Structure 1
């Protein structure tokens, strides 16, 4: 199923649209802009282009009217006379990240979630995420209006693929989430929210197969895709129904639970136990693996949120703590300390197992994309966690170049935007991340973000981060 985007028409308009956006930024947005010129030349850079190919050193990129006009060896690329020249010696340039499990809310505790329309857009952009999918909304009108404000240049932030409210059956103890009343109600929800402007749909744990089928059918009629954090429906059942994407790697798979009942979540830790006992080289897992790939189902890695539940993992660094509201910081630190001493936690084995299964999916030819899921108990903060997600992919066994490609090109492919972003290529939007150092030799250098270009406009990462200190959890 391909989304109808009018891509050819948009490509013709891209230079005009990028130029128009640059000239229409509000003073509030322009306060974070450090580079803005019709023609920009980034010289002497190390280029990690997002394709998975080896790094290129001594490169020059020319940006004109928001698009990449030239990429090549500094000795051979002719600098336009009118270019603003920026020497990037010692720096690496990556494509803007395309992150597919993000939210504009943050856990406040006791199953409450506060909308972060102020802090999260700035944090995502500061962390190099120039394009995100919200992967479920608690306050959908806030997300839709936020997207419109960002697109209009009124506030700084990433371009957004806005996902519907969670489409779920009865049984979830979160007051923000509606319980569907059957397949007809599911169709009504899809129709209503598609008309309101959402561009993706998210199904959740207690949905039935009949409701899921209705969502998929109706969404595909509208040219939109469906992703899911499942439980009551197995991955195999969802794939046969035509789902486009499954969230959280294999964590939400209930395919291997022996006494799994139709349209019901397994009780207790049965699903986790089944994954711990699963043999990655065994016939059951291989059958599911190849079935998902044959059905064209993408898988979203969300390792940052799972890391927070795993004893022995490091706490977030001081910059992340400083971004939090004091109450949010205290909540996070107390919970992290309690988890750290849980010697018998299944997460000590489950976390590396999930890494192993995700890598097996990618090696078999599956489309692995990545996101962060800023939920849990507050240890996953927008922007910072996007960089952590790439580091964790490397820990899972991917090379730095492979991990960066998963976080850029793969996400663009899923969104069907790879004709205009996701790699550093001539003719594509100048969505770029400039980092100090070389992430291909030390992946932690990816944290040293200095500049983030979106549509050819360079935003100062540190200024964006400084503007939200002490606000995460509040707004």
Structure 2
């Protein structure tokens, strides 16, 4: 087990005898790797990473590492390693009766084997999500870590068919994981019940006032559960949400709702007739908007923007909704240049994964490949509230790692050139 050929043989043996396509040692060293350091934006060439159980126990130059009989050594010369990817915006259980469990397991397995070691589910049936999360945690299914939300919104929102589907067997707006908030809400109980579902965070969705936002966030902080939010809540404006104490906001295009004239602006964009000069039109439309104060507020409050570029791309071919893509793309690019932390969340109902989001950030929003890697690792971990133990390659953090054959800093397409995935110290063969 001190060379790659032996490792490959072991993995093939495990695949033939188990359904998990995984193998693990209690302690092992990954030697001669090139570390993509998302803390410093540097590549650390020829390093060794020592893993004990499910954590990184040491990181040092390979020339300083002494091989011992008690720690298995795996030489991976020329391979590039980065933190396991994190998709900060997915939906796996909006309607569990339609989104079959077997299909969910299939997609989750595919996500893990492409290098996604954690996901943040942004609202669905917590009963189904709790089951998936538990099984992923203990290894009963091959899947990323699953962090899911309990949704809170104004009472009018719960006529939405998606909430009715997610609350089957109960009443939409009255489930612990899907709660209508109003003047008579018992916030202490509502937050406690949300935590009781096993949710990793509370997501604020729609039809909430600034006063309700403040109450939710204050009580959530008291009970030590993070709050995530849409960037606008139809009543509460982006600036009010950002200042409330949330750790992340979703959907870049929603920042336009800070403007009192947003409805008129959007109407003018919808009424626009294509004339062959689309770039000029959207550039001019964007120049009339000023988000500088929102960017400053996000930076001041350390709020991460979960941009969801992938879902905005869907609107490119929908004339009445194309503004979401055109304005959203420009917001992402501008916010990034101003220093706002951007997380990578696909929100595409798993039609695409976070790797596609990363490529959009590079190819259409002016990110460097390194910046896209930071978005899909460190920033997504911060947006989820798990940066303490994931998102970077550091001693003491979870051994969630993605090994590539080619340098992703030279070309973001190399994110698909996968050699090996490690989650919780377990090695996964990506050929499965």
For 1:273 and 1:155, locate their aligned partners in 2 and report how far apart those are by CA, in whole Å.
Answer: 45
Distance of aligned partners of 1:184 and 1:285 in 2 relative to their CA distance in 1, 3 Å threshold: same
For 1:241 and 1:29, locate their aligned partners in 2 and report how far apart those are by CA, in whole Å.
Answer: 52
> What SS is found at the alignment partner of 1:461?
coil
For 2:252 and 2:16, locate their aligned partners in 1 and report how far apart those are by CA, in whole Å.
Answer: 38
Distance of aligned partners of 1:238 and 1:165 in 2 relative to their CA distance in 1, 3 Å threshold: closer
TM-score by length of 1: 0.72
Equivalent in 427, 437, 446 of residue 396 of structure 2:
427
Q: State the Cα distance separating 1:157 from its structure 2 match.
A: 1.8
Q: Tell which has more relative contact order, 1 or 2 (C-alpha 8 A, sep 6+).
A: 1
Q: Which residue of 1 is the match for residue 165 of structure 2?
A: 176
Q: State the Cα distance separating 1:282 from its structure 2 match.
A: 6.6
Deviations 1:266-300 (A, max 9, x none): 59944976995787677831122212333332211
Q: Which residue of 2 is the match for residue 305 of structure 1?
A: 311
For 2:284 and 2:210, locate their aligned partners in 1 and report how far apart those are by CA, in whole Å.
Answer: 24
Tell whether the 8 Å contact from 1:201 to 1:226 is kept in structure 2 after alignment: yes
Deviations 1:341-373 (A, max 9, x none): xxx5653x6535423322332333323222111
For 2:348 and 2:17, locate their aligned partners in 1 and report how far apart those are by CA, in whole Å.
Answer: 24
Q: State the Cα distance separating 1:447 from its structure 2 match.
A: 1.2
Q: Which residue of 2 is the match for residue 129 of structure 1?
A: 116
Tell whether the 8 Å contact from 2:20 to 2:141 is kept in structure 1 after alignment: no
For 2:374 and 2:79, locate their aligned partners in 1 and report how far apart those are by CA, in whole Å.
Answer: 18
For 2:382 and 2:426, locate their aligned partners in 1 and report how far apart those are by CA, in whole Å.
Answer: 23
> What SS is found at the alignment partner of 1:184?
coil
> What SS is found at the alignment partner of 1:170?
helix
Count of aligned residue pairs for this structure pair: 391
Tell whether the 8 Å contact from 2:247 to 2:385 is kept in structure 1 after alignment: no
Equivalent in 46, 51, 60 of residue 48 of structure 2:
60
Distance of aligned partners of 1:49 and 1:283 in 2 relative to their CA distance in 1, 3 Å threshold: same
For 2:296 and 2:19, locate their aligned partners in 1 and report how far apart those are by CA, in whole Å.
Answer: 49
1:217 pairs with 2:221? no
Q: State the Cα distance separating 1:459 from its structure 2 match.
A: 1.4
> What SS is found at the alignment partner of 2:353?
helix
Bigger mean CA offset, 279-288 vs 291-300 = 279-288
Distance of aligned partners of 1:286 and 1:91 in 2 relative to their CA distance in 1, 3 Å threshold: same
Query: In the TM superposition, what are the counterparts of 1:342-353 in structure 2 within 5 Å?
Result: 344=319, 347=322, 350-351=324-325, 353=327
Query: In the TM superposition, what are the counterparts of 1:152-171 in structure 2 within 5 Å?
Result: 152-165=138-151, 167-171=153-157
Distance of aligned partners of 1:308 and 1:75 in 2 relative to their CA distance in 1, 3 Å threshold: same
> What SS is found at the alignment partner of 1:162?
strand
Query: In the TM superposition, what are the counterparts of 1:199-214 in structure 2 within 5 Å?
Result: 199-214=200-215
Tell whether the 8 Å contact from 1:50 to 1:423 is kept in structure 2 after alignment: yes
For 2:268 and 2:395, locate their aligned partners in 1 and report how far apart those are by CA, in whole Å.
Answer: 46
Deviations 1:16-59 (A, max 9, x none): xxxxxxxxxxx999533443112222233222122242223333
Q: State the Cα distance separating 1:248 from its structure 2 match.
A: 1.3
For 1:448 and 1:300, locate their aligned partners in 2 and report how far apart those are by CA, in whole Å.
Answer: 25
Tell whether the 8 Å contact from 1:125 to 1:156 is kept in structure 2 after alignment: yes
Query: In the TM superposition, what are the counterparts of 1:158-307 in structure 2 within 5 Å?
Result: 158-165=144-151, 167-171=153-157, 172-174=159-161, 175-176=164-165, 178-179=172-173, 180=180, 182-185=182-185, 187=187, 188-229=189-230, 230-232=232-234, 233-251=236-254, 253-258=256-261, 266=263, 269-270=266-267, 284-307=290-313
Gaps of 5+ in 1: 1-26, 261-265, 312-338, 464-475
> What SS is found at the alignment partner of 1:296?
coil
Q: State the Cα distance separating 1:71 from its structure 2 match.
A: 2.8
TM-score by length of 2: 0.79
For 2:65 and 2:88, locate their aligned partners in 1 and report how far apart those are by CA, in whole Å.
Answer: 34
Q: Which residue of 2 is the match for residue 355 of structure 1?
A: 329
Tell whether the 8 Å contact from 1:183 to 1:214 is kept in structure 2 after alignment: no
> What SS is found at the alignment partner of 2:111?
helix
Q: Which residue of 2 is the match for residue 84 of structure 1?
A: 72
Distance of aligned partners of 1:156 and 1:403 in 2 relative to their CA distance in 1, 3 Å threshold: same
RMSD between superposed Cα atoms in Å:
3.4
Distance of aligned partners of 1:54 and 1:272 in 2 relative to their CA distance in 1, 3 Å threshold: farther
Bigger mean CA offset, 276-285 vs 80-89 = 276-285
Distance of aligned partners of 1:304 and 1:443 in 2 relative to their CA distance in 1, 3 Å threshold: same
For 2:209 and 2:282, locate their aligned partners in 1 and report how far apart those are by CA, in whole Å.
Answer: 26
Q: Which residue of 2 is the match for residue 336 of structure 1?
A: none
For 1:113 and 1:155, locate their aligned partners in 2 and report how far apart those are by CA, in whole Å.
Answer: 17
Tell whether the 8 Å contact from 1:96 to 1:432 is kept in structure 2 after alignment: yes
Equivalent in 387, 395, 408 of residue 439 of structure 1:
408
